[in-house]
Amino acid sequence: MAIQFSDTASANIIELRGVHQSYDNGKVKIIENLDLLIEDKPMQGQFTVILGMSGCGKSTVLRYIAGLQEPTSGSVLVKGEAVGKQNRVSMVFQQYSSLPWMTVLDNVGLGLRFKGVPKKERDEKAMEMIKLVGLEGHQKKYAQYPALSGGQLQRVAIARSLMSNPEILLMDEPFGALDVKTRLQMQDLLIGIWEKFSPTIIFVTHDIQEAVYLADDIYIMKHAPSRFVKHINVDLPFNRTRDTKRMARYDELVHEVEDAMMQIDTDGQ
C-alpha cells in the first residue's frame, strides 16, 4: 500500500504527485502513482534516504527532481515550481563526475563560472569550499585518478555541488565505490556539511546502516510498478557521531529497516 502524504502548514521544497513512468505506449509500467513530499525546514534542512531493490526506480526519482528526466505523467515541483524553472538542483553521482581536464579549483568553481562570477572571486569562494571538504593542497591537481583517490574525487563533486546550489543536494549512491574506511570518513564529512549548511539532502543507498546513520527519514520503494510503501522516522539525536552507532536505538532502527526491506515485494505491498 502506498504511503499517504498530507500537506501541512509548512511549505514543500520537493513534491512528486501522481508520478507515472511507462514505456511501449503504456504496456510496461515502471513507476505507478508515486508521491513524495519533503517539507522545507529553513536553518535545519532535511536528510531523506531512499532505499529499495536494484532497479526499483530510486535513481529515476532523483533524475526527476534534478530535471534530467520527465515522467510519463504526474507533476514534479521544486520550491513550488516545475523543474527547470528555478536554479538547477545539484546532484552527486556514484561515478566520478569531475571534468578530468580541469583542476580541482576550476571544477569546484564551475557553477560560479557559468553564473558569470569573476575568476578572482570564484577562486576565493572555491578555495573556502575546498578547505571545508579537506582538499587543501590538492587544488592545482587535475581532478582525475590516480592524481586523486576515489574519496577525493567525490569530495570534489560534493564541493562543486554545494557551490552550485547549497539548498538542495541529490546524492545517488555517492559512496558505493569507496573502501570501508573512506566511506565512513565521507559519511562523517557529509554530516558536518549538513550541520553547517542545513540543505535538503535526498540520498540513495543500498547500505542500511549508512541509511540509519545519516537520515532523518527513510522511504522504501517497492519494485515495479514502483512507489513508496514504507516510511521510517529515524529518531536519533540530530548531531550524529560514531558513538551514535553504538546506541541501542541505532541497532533497533537497523533491524526495523532490515525487516521492512525483507517484507517489501513479498507481502503484496
In this prediction, residue 113 carries a pLDDT of 86
CA nearest 129: which of 99, 157, 163, 169? 163
In this prediction, residue 72 carries a pLDDT of 93
Pick the CATH number of 1-80+167-269 from 3.40.605.10, 3.40.190.10, 3.30.1360.10, 3.40.50.300: 3.40.50.300
Where do the structural domains in the chain lie, given as residue ranges?
1-80+167-269, 98-164
Q: How confident is the model at residue 266 (pLDDT cuts 50, 70, 90)?
A: low
- pLDDT above 70 for 44: yes
Give the residue-averaged pLDDT of 168-193: 90
Give the residue-averaged pLDDT of 67-81: 91
- Highest averaged pLDDT of the listed ranges 68-72, 142-146, 243-247: 243-247
168-172 and 200-204 strand pairing: parallel
> Which residues in 192-212 are b (16+ Cβ under 10 Å) and which e?
ebbeeebbbbbbbbebbbbbb
Contacts from 84-87 at CB under 8 Å and sequence distance 24+? 87/164, 87/165
| Alpha carbons 110 and 10: distance in angstroms, whole number | 33
The separation between CA 129 and the C-alpha centre of its own chain, rounded to angstroms, equals: 19
In this prediction, residue 268 carries a pLDDT of 45
Per cent of the chain over pLDDT 70 is 95
- pLDDT above 80 for 261: yes
Per cent of the chain over pLDDT 90 is 53
Higher model confidence: residue 89 or residue 49? Answer: 49
Give the residue-averaged pLDDT of 212-227: 93
Instruction: Outline where 8-118 has alpha helix (H).
Output: 58-66, 104-108, 110-114
- pLDDT above 80 for 206: yes
In this prediction, residue 246 carries a pLDDT of 97
Q: Check: CB of residue 260 under 8 Å from CB of residue 223.
A: no
> What is this structure's pTM?
0.90
Give the residue-averaged pLDDT of 58-82: 91
- pLDDT above 60 for 197: yes
Residue range 133-162, pLDDT digits in tens: 999 999 999 999 889 998 899 899 889 888
CA nearest 97: which of 86, 108, 113, 84? 108
